Amino acid sequence: MNPASNLILVGPMGAGKTTIGKRLAKHFALRFVDSDQFIEQQTGARVATIFDLEGEAGFRQREQQAIAELCNGHGQLIATGGGAVLNEENRRLMHLHGFVIWLRTSVERQLERLAQDRTRPLLQASNRRHRLEVMAAQRDPLYAVCCDLVFESEQRKVAAAAERLARILAQRWHRETEPAPIPDPTQPPCTT
């Protein structure tokens, strides 16, 4: 068990980090923060615009600054962007300041959930399936390394998924007011 004052959701786009996260935040009386929205508020620009002007590298630098700032807070549920785990410092900070949950979902479910979404810069590709498969191959091992809990978010009903995850967290997450030490990376995460 990783006692922590924050819950942090990681996982690919379309896994339900925002929709499940809002419900969990309400259930546990936490402040909900979406890291991408936080970046947009800080910069006054949409994520897509930042990608256009600064490229992915520029966005990732801004993301790292946002994760560092958010992780210094307490009593939050932080929904991270799908690529936040690419940065080693982000993974370290998330371990240090939160109970990290990997919302794992299949590429099939992502394609279904993101079928109408045209706003995500990394999905602007002729072959969305291939793009998502490449990202999963790169990111899934990083989600696994930094998480305290793996939650399968394949369900179609958000309310049922959030309720199920809340029950699991009630048994496995101990909310602290002080940051927890970094967990032993040699220990595998819990899975459900």
Residue positions in the annotated binding site? 14-19, 36, 60, 82, 120, 139, 156
Please state the domain extents for the chain: 7-191
| Of 153 and 66, the one with more pLDDT | 66
Residue positions in the annotated binding site for Mg(2+)? 18
- Among all chains, which residue has been given the structure tokens 């499940």? 20
pLDDT 10s digits, 114-157: 666 666 656 677 787 888 899 899 999 999 999 999 999 877 78
Assigned fold of 7-191 = Rossmann fold (3.40.50)
Residue positions in the annotated binding site for ATP? 14-19, 120, 156
Q: Which pLDDT value is given to residue 117?
A: 64
- pTM for the whole structure: 0.84
Model confidence at 2: pLDDT above 70: no
Contact residues for 102 (Cβ-Cβ < 8 A; gap 6+)? 10, 11, 143, 144, 146, 147, 149, 150, 151, 189
Q: Which pLDDT value is given to residue 28?
A: 93
Residue positions in the annotated binding site for substrate? 36, 60, 82, 139
Nearest to 80 by CA among 105, 102, 96, 53: 102
The CA dihedral of 38, 191, 142, 22, to the nearest 10 degrees, is -10
